[in-house]
Amino acid sequence: MTTPMTRLTVLSGGMGGARFLQGLQQALATGRLPGVSPDAEITVIANTADDLWIHGLKVCPDLDTVMYTLGDGIDLDRGWGRRDETWSVKEELATYGVEPTWFGLGDRDIATHLVRTQMLDAGYSLSSVTEALCKRWDPGVRLLPMTDDRVETHVAIADPDSPSGRRVVHFQEYWVRLRAEVPAETVVFVGLDDSAPAPGVLDAITDADLVVLPPSNPVVSIGTILGVPRIREAVTATKAPVVGLSPIVGGTHVRGMAEQMLTSIGVEVSAAGVGLHYGARSAGGVLDGWLVDERDVDAVERVRAAGIASEAVPLMMTDHDATAAMAAAAVRLVS
Ligand code: GDP
Ligand code: CA
């Protein structure tokens, strides 16, 4: 008998990653993961390239979405920020005419950013701050930022009023203010090439029994994590199997804006397109297995032909149970 897996490592963005993690936790708690010990530890390496400074506060959208979701503090309807939120500070700032006004800073949420900013100002690293914040939220996973360094995704969009004909905005402005409605001409990852993996990140990949790429955005969530120097190499080299789940279902993202981002980097917007973009580990890529949705069953042969195990199963995260079944299918695919 082989020894059961005890160390699962997940590379995560915000909402897609967090929802998947809820299903993974449920699957683990109900013994639905074949070959995985019921008390296996989950380590989450979260994207921090969405982070921004706003009104003097350091905001980490993906870390907070994972922390609030798994800590049962998330607003379920919005999918981000705190439940039972109030907006007095935002209203007061608007009354002062202070820009920017498009970013949703709720009163409860601000407390998190105040604690984080104070600790960073006192010299603590983002990893230490995240660990401290998680003491309150108890997310049931070890949550690590991909890096302690400042990395920011910026998006170039067409702007007829600018002399160059284009304008560069922070990813959050593209997503929240512009609602990703204008085409992204290019995506630039400021600081990524000079960043270093946060403490524990490389070990979490190298020493894992299984590495999972959840249905997070392949460009601005997983793409940035893999872009931190040495992280992609660690995923390619780990002894653990690496399995991913397609964020594209039926040729489109379910929610979010993976479509715009894939188009901007010239990757086919399809379940097969994303799988082949990640590539087979046997060919220097990052995947041993790739799950696609039932309606993308045509993708399976193409993905297998590239040397990646593949199956078509339902991939809609409609509730914890459905998501737990996805997690179980992912484990099975590479077991
Ligand atoms: P973000 O940081 O909040 O944008 O979240 P992630 O990067 O973790 O995940 C966003 C991506 O999740 C979206 O672009 C979608 O492609 C994908 N997604 C969201 N819901 C579902 C779902 O129910 N099923 C699948 N397969 N993908 C989903
Ligand atoms: Ca994000």
Of 217, 315, 317, the residue with max ligand 1 atoms within 8 A of its CB, to mutate for a pocket test, comes to 217
Amino acid at 34: P
Of 15, 68, 176, the residue with max ligand 1 atoms within 8 A of its CB, to mutate for a pocket test, comes to 15
The protein residue whose alpha carbon is closest to atom 1 in ligand 1 is 14
Q: How far apart are the first and last CA of the chain?
A: 13
How close is the Cα of 37 to the center of ligand 2, in Å? 30
Q: Residues lining ligand 1, CB < 6 A?
A: 12-17, 62, 65, 215-217, 221, 246-247, 249, 253-256, 258, 315-317
Residues 6+ apart with CB under 8 A from 159: 165, 166, 167
Helix axes 15-29, 320-333, angle to 10 degrees: 80
In this structure, are residues 75 and 40 in contact, taking their beta carbons and an 8 Å threshold? no
- What pLDDT score was predicted for residue 309? 98
Phi, psi of 31 (to 5 degrees): 65, 30
**Nearest CA to 313 among 334, 303, 335, 328?**
328
Which pLDDT tens digit goes with each residue over 271-307? Answer: 999 999 999 999 999 999 999 999 999 999 999 999 9
- What pLDDT score was predicted for residue 1? 60
Q: What is the pLDDT along the chain (335 residues), one digit of tens a residue?
A: 689 999 999 999 999 999 999 999 999 999 999 999 999 999 999 999 999 999 999 999 999 999 999 999 999 999 999 999 999 999 999 999 999 999 989 999 999 999 999 999 999 999 999 999 999 999 999 999 999 999 999 999 999 999 999 999 999 999 999 998 988 999 999 999 999 999 999 999 999 999 999 999 999 999 999 999 999 999 999 999 999 999 999 999 888 888 999 999 999 999 999 999 999 999 999 999 999 999 999 999 999 999 999 999 999 999 999 999 999 999 999 99
DSSP labels, 14-76 = SHHHHHHHHHHHHHHHTT-STTEEEEEEEEEEE--TT-EEETTEEE-HHHHHHHHHHTT-B-T
Of 24, 221, 265, the residue with max ligand 1 atoms within 8 A of its CB, to mutate for a pocket test, comes to 221
Closest ligand relative to 49 C-alpha: 2
Which pLDDT tens digit goes with each residue over 30-44? Answer: 999 999 999 999 999
Residues 6+ apart with CB under 8 A from 179: none
Amino acid at 147: T
Closest ligand relative to 153 C-alpha: 2
How close is the Cα of 253 to the center of ligand 1, in Å? 7
pTM equals 0.97
Closest ligand relative to 48 C-alpha: 2
Please state whether beta strands 166-170 and 152-158 pair in parallel, antiparallel, or not at all (unpaired).
antiparallel
How close is the Cα of 174 to the center of ligand 2, in Å? 12
How close is the Cα of 13 to the center of ligand 2, in Å? 5
